[in-house]
């Protein structure tokens, strides 16, 4: 009987292996950027076309390669980082397995130009489907340029699994930001379809964080820095008010390598447990440095999931370091280096405080009233004081001839002392109309029905109403837009701007009048008519936050996530007082919905109580 086990051909084996490393354009971006860092580059440029499907190119000014090295780098497991098995446990560079360029060459068309400092000419190599088509000398600047063209051109089925350009671009931006954060002393730039999205100059870690996340974070970062013989940690965490409903701004680096660790993230969450809501996520950019022998980074093709020899020590150390940083923040004021320079020119700071000015200040009545011993504040009792006749403000007005005489104070009825005195005015008004709804603790609406009464959760009910209204707007008639008298300019983070560009047609149908204005900026000319004027920016930023929160739910498509996000963002919050008309409108619109009993997220909107059940509760049978 014939043998049935065969070796796979090299071309098939290469494409299978490439699938572990190059899953999408962002995978190639990560590998090429890390190679540029390892080459000692100080300036790294990333060029993207068609969200990486047409072109991913990285240009650096690093050490470059010789003719032989340029050819060898495309062989599988060809590396300059490992000579013996012991080297595998002392890795401090980003790439070391020699598989990135081989995997890229297996699923794309690659062009490489590289030149060393001492060479007169560089090397040009063209590879197509792992086959070298051309290799020749060329003119080139010092460093390396690698261009990956037409990803998955030879594997059409895998190309079909790529997402939309906006989705793939978000992944590319994520990988670019992670590498840029890890090496703030290097210059990075990102160009997409001929437009520059990012340009980061060399600087400190805080400058790099602020340039990525926004200038408003400059005064909202708390320094974390602790050192021991076993490990060191440094970086920044956001103050509690920067916590968001999404995990987006959370970065852990171990030996300058970005990692994903739910275990260490839990340590950070525990450190913030008493300062932020349980459903919020803090901002952090933290770097852990420890001996590579204590870390195994070779457990996953992307190297983003790693193992530690003692996770408990890291957990306790991270939690303790953050708690210590937050404790210092609470007692130590932060220096604000962005103080308006105009304040420094005021006379109060530039002119000397003379004895004459001191005498003038201490002689005023305001100074005396606030500096008397053993008293927080003293009321001036002099004749010039306007407080002498304060009692007259509470006396009865002078009687006129046509006024009815008022009874003396002793004949006024005494204020009731029973529990009736604490009945809410809304209940008193509702007593005149038994069918009128009543708000309970500014959170629930109580309404009488023929068989008893119902208790409505005002937020969940309004969320259901808005959800169905927005679905109708996308399917049938767009929502009316309220034009702003003064259009606002909305500047977003690049990743958020990509999301808005992707959702622009649906946002317009839902009542938003947005117009792109530059790379990451939009002009807000109008918002849905039911959003209060003046809240345009807060409305869109809140919508984005909710949308990113829903993005983790793969069971919903983009339009469904958008509608749910808008409904949750614009729903009436718990704690808001409502008029009788507003409460009645919510009840009427809720029961006109196709599914009135639950919110879009599955939360109940109302509970009904029947008279029979109430009688049983009060045990009327005696």
Pair type for strands 250-254 and 284-290: parallel
Asked whether the beta carbons of 32 and 146 are under 8 A apart, the reply is yes
Alpha carbons 253 and 239: distance in angstroms, whole number: 20
pLDDT at residue 395 in the model: 53
pLDDT higher than 90, residue 48:
yes
Confidence of residue 348 (pLDDT cuts 50, 70, 90): low
pLDDT at residue 386 in the model: 53
Taken in order 503, 509, 512, 513, is the CA torsion positive or negative? positive
CATH class given for the domain over 10-200: alpha beta
Against a cut of 0.75, is the pTM above it?
A: no
Exposure b/e, 452-472, CB count within 10 A at least 16 = b: ebbebbbbbbbbbbbbbbbbe
pLDDT at residue 520 in the model: 77
Higher pLDDT, 7 or 108: 108
Alpha carbons 102 and 104: distance in angstroms, whole number: 6
Taken in order 104, 106, 107, 109, is the CA torsion positive or negative? positive
DSSP H/E element including 312: helix 311-331
52: left (phi over 0), alpha (psi -120 to 50) or beta: left
Domain with CATH 3.30.230.10 in the chain: 205-331
Alpha carbons 175 and 22: distance in angstroms, whole number: 13
Confidence of residue 54 (pLDDT cuts 50, 70, 90): very high
Listed ranges 236-245, 333-342, 377-386; the one with the highest mean pLDDT: 236-245
pLDDT at residue 225 in the model: 92
* Nearest CA among 64, 29, 59 for reference residue 187: 59
3.30.230.10, 3.30.300.30, 3.40.50.280, 2.40.50.140: CATH of 205-331: 3.30.230.10
DSSP H/E element including 528: strand 521-528
Alpha carbons 517 and 504: distance in angstroms, whole number: 13
pLDDT higher than 80, residue 230:
yes
pLDDT at residue 523 in the model: 87
Q: Which single residue is written with the structure tokens 């939309």? A: 164
* Nearest CA among 27, 193, 7 for reference residue 106: 27
pLDDT higher than 80, residue 73:
yes
pLDDT higher than 90, residue 77:
no
Could you write out the DSSP letters of every residue in 358-387? Answer: HHHHHTSHHHHHHHSTT-S-----STT-TT
Mean pLDDT of 242-261: 84
pLDDT at residue 71 in the model: 86
Provide the 8-state DSSP code for 8: P
pLDDT higher than 80, residue 84:
no
Listed ranges 73-87, 273-287, 516-530; the one with the highest mean pLDDT: 273-287
Percent of the chain at pLDDT > 70 equals: 74
Tens digits of residue pLDDT in 321-332: 999 988 887 633
Domain with CATH 3.30.1370.100 in the chain: 456-606
Tens digits of residue pLDDT in 196-224: 888 999 999 999 999 888 888 888 899 99
Asked whether the beta carbons of 322 and 288 are under 8 A apart, the reply is no
pLDDT at residue 339 in the model: 45
Dihedral, CA of residue 412, residue 413, residue 417 and residue 420, to nearest 10: -120
Higher pLDDT, 117 or 492: 117
pLDDT at residue 417 in the model: 44
pLDDT at residue 382 in the model: 56
Alpha carbons 268 and 281: distance in angstroms, whole number: 9
Tens digits of residue pLDDT in 387-431: 555 555 455 555 545 444 444 444 444 444 443 444 445 444 444
Tens digits of residue pLDDT in 124-145: 999 988 888 999 999 999 999 9
Token readout for 314 is 């890291």
* Nearest CA among 106, 103, 100 for reference residue 154: 106
Provide the 8-state DSSP code for 414: P
What is the edge-to-edge ordering of all strands in the sheet holding 513-516?
A: 481-491, 521-528, 513-516
User: For all residues of the chain together, what is the average pLDDT?
Assistant: 78
DSSP H/E element including 470: helix 458-475
Tens digits of residue pLDDT in 288-310: 988 877 776 655 555 566 677 77
Mean pLDDT of 511-537: 78
Fold designation for 456-606: Ribosomal Protein S8; Chain: A, domain 1 (3.30.1370)
Higher pLDDT, 343 or 196: 196
pLDDT at residue 191 in the model: 93
- Helix residue spans in 96-161 (DSSP H): 100-107, 156-160
Confidence of residue 26 (pLDDT cuts 50, 70, 90): very high
Tens digits of residue pLDDT in 465-519: 998 988 888 887 788 888 877 788 887 877 788 888 888 888 888 888 888 887 7
Domain with CATH 3.30.565.10 in the chain: 10-200
Provide the 8-state DSSP code for 598: B
Query: Within a 13 Å sphere around the CA of 520, how many CA atoms are in the beta-carbon half?
Result: 13
* Nearest CA among 436, 501, 477, 459 for reference residue 600: 459
* Nearest CA among 301, 240, 245, 248 for reference residue 276: 240
DSSP H/E element including 227: strand 221-227
Crossing angle for the helix pair 558-570 and 536-550, to the nearest 10 degrees? 130
């Amino acid at each position: 009987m014939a043998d049935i086990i065969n070796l796979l051909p090299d071309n098939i084996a290469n494409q299978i292996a490439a699938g572990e490393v190059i899953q999408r354009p962002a995978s190639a971006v990560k590998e090429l950027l890390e190679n540029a860092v390892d080459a000692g580059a100080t300036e790294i440029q990333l060029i993207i076309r068609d969200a990486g499907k047409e072109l991913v190119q990285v240009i650096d000014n690093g050490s470059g390669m010789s003719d032989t090295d340029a050819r060898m780098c495309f062989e599988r497991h060809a590396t300059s980082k490992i000579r013996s098995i012991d080297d595998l446990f002392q890795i401090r560079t980003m790439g070391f397995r020699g598989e990135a360029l081989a995997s890229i060459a297996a699923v794309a068309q690659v062009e490489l130009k590289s030149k060393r400092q001492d060479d007169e000419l560089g090397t040009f190599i063209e590879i197509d489907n792992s086959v070298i088509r051309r290799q020749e000398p060329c003119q080139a600047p010092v460093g390396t340029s690698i261009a990956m063209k037409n990803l998955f051109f030879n594997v059409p089925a895998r190309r079909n699994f790529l997402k939309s350009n906006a989705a793939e671009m978000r992944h590319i931006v994520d990988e670019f930001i992670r590498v840029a954060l890890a090496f703030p002393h290097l210059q990075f730039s990102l160009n997409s379809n001929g437009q520059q999205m990012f340009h980061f100059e060399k600087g400190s870690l805080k400058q790099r964080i602020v340039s990525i996340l926004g200038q408003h974070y400059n005064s909202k970062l708390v320094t974390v820095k602790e050192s021991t013989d076993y490990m060191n940690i440094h970086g920044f965490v956001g103050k509690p008010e920067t916590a968001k409903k999404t995990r987006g701004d959370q970065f852990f680096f171990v030996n300058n390598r970005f990692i994903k660790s739910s275990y260490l993230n839990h340590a950070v969450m525990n450190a913030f447990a008493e300062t932020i809501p349980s459903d919020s996520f803090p901002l952090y950019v933290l770097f852990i440095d420890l001996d590579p022998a204590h870390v195994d980074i070779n457990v996953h093709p992307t190297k983003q999931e790693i193992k530690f020899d003692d996770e408990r020590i890291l957990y306790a150390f991270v939690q303790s370091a953050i708690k210590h940083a937050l404790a210092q923040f609470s007692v130590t004021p932060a220096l604000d280096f962005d103080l308006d320079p105009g304040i420094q020119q005021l006379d109060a700071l530039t002119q000397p405080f003379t004895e004459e000015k001191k005498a003038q200040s201490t002689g005023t009545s305001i100074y005396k009233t606030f500096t008397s011993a053993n008293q927080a504040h003293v009321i001036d009792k002099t004749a010039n004081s306007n407080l002498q006749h304060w009692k007259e403000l509470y006396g009865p007005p002078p009687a006129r001839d046509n006024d009815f005489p008022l009874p003396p104070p002793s004949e006024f009825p005494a204020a009731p002392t029973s529990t009736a005195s604490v009945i809410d005015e809304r209940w008193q008004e509702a007593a005149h109309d038994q069918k009128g709804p009543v708000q309970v603790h500014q959170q629930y609406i109580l309404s009488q029905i023929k068989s008893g009464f119902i208790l409505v959760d005002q937020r969940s009910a309004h969320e259901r109403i808005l959800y169905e209204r927005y679905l109708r707007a996308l399917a049938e008639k767009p929502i009316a837009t309220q034009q702003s008298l003064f259009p606002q300019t909305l500047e977003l983070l690049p990743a958020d701007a990509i999301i808005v560009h992707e959702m622009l047609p649906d946002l317009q149908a839902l009542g938003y009048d947005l117009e792109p204005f530059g790379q990451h900026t939009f002009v807000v000319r109008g918002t849905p008519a039911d959003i209060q004027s003046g809240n345009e920016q807060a409305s869109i930023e809140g919508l984005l936050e909710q949308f990113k929160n829903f993005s983790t739910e793969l069971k919903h498509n983009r339009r469904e996530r958008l509608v749910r996000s808008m409904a949750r963002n614009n729903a009436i919050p718990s704690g808001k007082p409502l008029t009788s008309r507003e409460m009645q409108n919510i009840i009427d619109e809720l029961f006109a919905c196709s599914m009135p009993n639950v919110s879009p997220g599955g939360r109940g909107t109302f509970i009904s109580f029947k008279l029979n059940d109430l009688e049983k509760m009060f045990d009327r049978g005696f």
